[in-house]
Amino acid sequence: MSREYTLQRAPSAATINIDYRSELNEQQYAAVTAPPGPLLVIAGAGSGKTRTLTYRVAYLLENGVDPRNILLLTFTNKAARQMLDRVANLLPVDASGLWGGTFHSIGNRMLRRHGSALGYSSGFTIMDREDQKDLLNAVVAGSGIDPKEIRFPKGEVLADIFSFVVNTERPIEELLAEKFPYFLPLLEQIKDVHLRYERRKKSTNSLDFDDLLEKTLRMLKEHEEIAAFYRRQFQFILVDEYQDTNKIQADLIDLLAAEHQNVMVVGDDAQSIYSWRGANFQNILAFPRRYPSAQVFKIELNYRSVPEILQVANAAIAANVQQFRKQLSATRLTNSLKPAIVALNDGGEQSQFIAQRILELRDEGIELNEIAVLYRAHYHAVELQLELSRRGIPYQITSGIRFFEQAHIKDVAAFIRFVANPRDEVAFKRMVRLLPGIGGKSAENLWRSWEESLGETTPVVAGGADPGSVNMAGSPAGVTAPGYNFGDRLRALPVGARSKKSWEQLAYTLDEIAPHGQPNQPTEMIMSIVEAIYDDYAKANFANYELRKEDLTQLAAFARQFKDIHEFLSQLALISNVDAEPAANQTGDTEAVNLSTVHQAKGLEFHSVFVIWLTDGMFPSTRSLETRNAIEEERRLFYVAITRAKDELYLTYPHMRLNAGYGDMFQRPSRFLKEIPTTLVEDWNVRRG
């Protein structure tokens, strides 16, 4: 029987004496100085979570734990570096041996050392998303599948499917049934592509990003000597943002912590909002069951928001059944201004209210950078972007590119641009490249043939556009003679046999949206384009197909306010170009209001926050109304939105909204608003002057 012998760390010559009681509040102190063993720290919004983790690392080092025996797992390398830098400022010790970084970076480090156990050399290539997409497309091409014949998922969508399979540890068929049901008829082909893709990666000594987790976990499970080595090394494991971990990440932590059980996980179950990308909310809820001896600490003292906002936040999350209950309390003094609930007539009036209030806040000395408008989905900000542009209020999109600059919006707009101006080369090529079997070269040849068919005459669509109006390509808009027929002209062009069917569909669709050269109303055109052509294309090309479909439905609704396609296209051009200086905005050189989805705003804070479109079906979203779990995640999302605000909070909803069909839709206030006691908020009655 072997004898256990522990090497003690040599004492440092420097005197280390952190006064933890004066540096931390009581709740933080209890977590930081807890004895070894499994620890769950529920750290509420704005409660100093990073500070708690940083001081825990310092506490371990000060108590003689060797840096090499500490593993710090975060969701960004930047977060790990910041914590370690703060530790270095607290303690005059060399902590360079500490392993700190993202799950993927730690997996990469292990595989570089021991990947040969799985047949990979230490010099393996890590493919980025573009490399992965290209390899998957090559695998599909070599598997006998003809994407010109069937709408098989493209490489980018396959990458998302396979990523979900890895991170949720679920079989492909189960995942398709839940997230991509329209691909179930292709299940066997997708499985075959997956096998071929795995073999191709192995033969080229390449790994994708998800392999850094999946291959690491498999290596540790299949090779006990490697697992035992790391279990001995990592005597203390600390995990940041534990509520955002997925199944494979939780399994990796459990495997490494199996021997010592010294694992501290820090997070906030009330801010678990990423199930749509694989995060498993049950990881944090079930931690005390997986570690029966776990101590649970709650850090509820908030340093960010005024008491009035925290009272609303506490009320907003109270209805959730699955949670660790806590009550955020404020360190800041009251500002005597209650959060506002603002009912508006429609989306247009909501946008006007927000724009006017933003200007008033700016006059009160609040910089635009300290103001945020948060929403459940990107398309909720369509009317607001137009209103801000009209008023010359600069804004930046935290959650990505502007609505009208997204690929799927520009794709559908290309059909309308082409109908408005048949000499629009950019629109024509973008439109035809959406069809199966037509690439860049084919599009160029078809354009030349189309241009020749037009001759010297420039047929542009009827509609009575103003002489100065422009379409999105910047070409003058004009008028065609009645009787112009797009379909007949397109059918006369030389198209390859494999593209005949889709080309005929294009010709039919253009005749449908502009019969005899007379364009339908923009809303009808959009709906016809999506139904006839674009819906199938979006399914095969976008993993977030459902979100993009919602965007296009909103585009159709937005288009209802324009009487003809020239006015509609002019507005799209205006909003795409006015104040469009993303480079300056993103670098912070220009003061700008922040527009963001709530998901993208997590971790940020602002003086004043507007949460908009708080109606049932918008926030919470329609898709979430079917199950309790989905509703509870929506409620957590609402909680995250509220807790971004430091001083002022505005919760707005319109009574009516534009529908893609005819007529307005009546909107019910979000059920989340009804759960907030009326004594905690102030109703604003908005009237027109």
Non-local (6+) Cβ contacts of 15 within 8 A are: none
Report how far apart, in Å, the C-alpha atoms of 104 and of each of 113, 132, 429, 495 are: 14, 16, 40, 47
Whether 49 sits among the annotated catalytic residues: the reply is yes
Non-local (6+) Cβ contacts of 229 within 8 A are: none
The active-site residue out of 644, 646, 657, 671 is: 644
* Angle at which helices 224-233 and 211-222 cross, to 10°: 100
Q: Among positive and negative, which fits the CA dihedral 554, 560, 562, 564?
A: positive
Stated as kind and residue range, the H or E segment containing 22 is helix 20-23
| Nearest C-alpha neighbor of 443 from the set 499, 497, 491, 525 | 499
Q: Tell me the C-alpha distance between 37 and 92, whole Å.
A: 26
Describe the strand order of the beta sheet including 395-397 as a list of residue ranges.
395-397, 593-597, 371-375, 606-611, 645-654, 340-344, 682-685
Whether 268 sits among the annotated catalytic residues: the reply is no
Q: Tell me the C-alpha distance between 154 and 156, whole Å.
A: 6
Q: Is-contact 649 307, C-beta < 8 A?
A: no
Non-local (6+) Cβ contacts of 270 within 8 A are: 44, 45, 317, 320, 323, 326, 636, 639, 640
The pair of three-digit structure tokens given for residue 399, joined into one six-digit string: 């959650």
The active-site residue out of 9, 33, 50, 202 is: 50
The gap from C-alpha 604 to its chain's centroid, in whole angstroms, comes to: 15
Whether 50 sits among the annotated catalytic residues: the reply is yes
The active-site residue out of 66, 210, 214, 241 is: 241
The pair of three-digit structure tokens given for residue 305, joined into one six-digit string: 């928001």
Radius of gyration for the alpha carbons in the chain, expressed in angstroms and rounded:
29
* DSSP state for residue 656 in the 8-state scheme: E
What three-state secondary structure class fits 79?
A: helix
The active-site residue out of 210, 240, 370, 550 is: 240
The active-site residue out of 54, 271, 480, 509 is: 271
Whether 647 sits among the annotated catalytic residues: the reply is no
Q: Tell me the C-alpha distance between 607 and 219, whole Å.
A: 48
Q: Tell me the C-alpha distance between 93 and 221, whole Å.
A: 35
Non-local (6+) Cβ contacts of 515 within 8 A are: none
Helix residue ranges, H only, 186-290: 187-203, 211-222, 224-233, 247-256, 282-285, 287-290
Whether 78 sits among the annotated catalytic residues: the reply is no
Give the 3-state secondary structure percentages of the chain, helix then strand then coil, rounded to 5.
55, 15, 35
The active-site residue out of 28, 49, 244, 424 is: 49
Q: What are residue 662's phi and psi, to 5 degrees?
A: -90, 145
Whether 6 sits among the annotated catalytic residues: the reply is no
Q: Which residues are tagged catalytic? A: 49-50, 240-241, 271, 644
